[in-house]
Amino acid sequence: MAPSEIAVTVRATTVDDVPRLLELFAALADYEQLADELHATEEQLREALFGQRPAAEALIAERGSESVGYALFFPTFSSFLATRGIWLEDLFVLPAHRGAGVGRALLAAVAARVPDAGGRLEWCALDWNELALGFYRGIGARAMDQWTTLRLHGEPLARLAAESADRR
C-alpha cells in the first residue's frame, strides 16, 4: 500500500497515550513557534484527561501503527442558544501526514461528539497559518471576525481572582 493510501483511524486516548500526546504537543508548539511556552507534564496531562474530574478529552489519529495527529477539546455552553457545544483547543497533524485525510478524520470525530443538534464546534487558528485556514474554509467553517479572543493568564488572572469575595 502506498503511503498516501494508508487508512486513517481515530480513537479516544487512553492513559497510555499521555507520553505520545506530549510529543505531539511539542510538535505543535514547534510548528507554531511557541516551544518555550510548553510546560505540560505527563502527570498534569494524566490528571487533566483521566483524573476524577476530567477537564478535556483527546483523540488520536493513527495511520498504520503510528500516532500522527490529535485533537484536544472540552465542552462549552451557549447562553443564547441554550445548547451545549465543544471548544477545539488543538487540532494537529504531523507535517508528513498532512493532505492524507488525517485532519478531516479528527475534525469529523470531534464534530460527532457535539452533544446537541443545535450545538456548535468552535476553535481558533493563527492568522498566519494559511494551510489550516484554507482547510477550515474548505469544510465550510467561517471566521467569526467580529469576535476577538482575549486571555487572562498568570499574575493578572491571580490579581483579579483575589478580588473575589466568593473564592473557593
> Cell digits for 137?
474554509
Q: Which helix (H) or strand (E) holds 69?
A: strand 66-78
What is the pTM (predicted TM-score) of this model?
0.89
Coil, helix or strand at residue 63: strand
Cα separations in angstroms, 55 against 50, 77, 80, 101: 9, 15, 23, 28
**Cβ contacts of residue 124 below 8 Å, gap of 6+?**
149
The band of 1, judged by pLDDT with boundaries at 50, 70 and 90, is very low
The full set of domain ranges for the chain reads 3-143
Q: Given 70, 73, 92, 136, which residue is catalytic?
A: 136
How far apart (Å, rounded) are the C-alpha atoms in residues 151 and 39?
18
Beta strands at 83-93 and 121-123: parallel, antiparallel or unpaired: parallel
Tens-digit pLDDT profile for residues 110-152: 999 998 888 999 999 999 999 999 999 999 999 998 988 888 8
**Cβ contacts of residue 49 below 8 Å, gap of 6+?**
13, 15, 18, 55, 56, 57, 58
The band of 153, judged by pLDDT with boundaries at 50, 70 and 90, is confident
Tens-digit pLDDT profile for residues 99-118: 999 999 999 999 999 988 88
- Between 1 and 51, the more confident residue is 51
Fold of the CATH domain 3-143: Aminopeptidase (3.40.630)
73 has which bridge partners? 57, 88
AA identity, residue 97: H
Share of the chain above pLDDT 70, in %: 95
Contact 113, 86 (CB under 8 A): yes
Does the pLDDT at position 27 exceed 70? yes
Contact 116, 79 (CB under 8 A): no
The average confidence (pLDDT) of the chain is 92
31 is catalytic: no
The band of 166, judged by pLDDT with boundaries at 50, 70 and 90, is low
Does the pLDDT at position 167 exceed 60? no
Tens-digit pLDDT profile for residues 83-99: 999 999 999 999 999 99
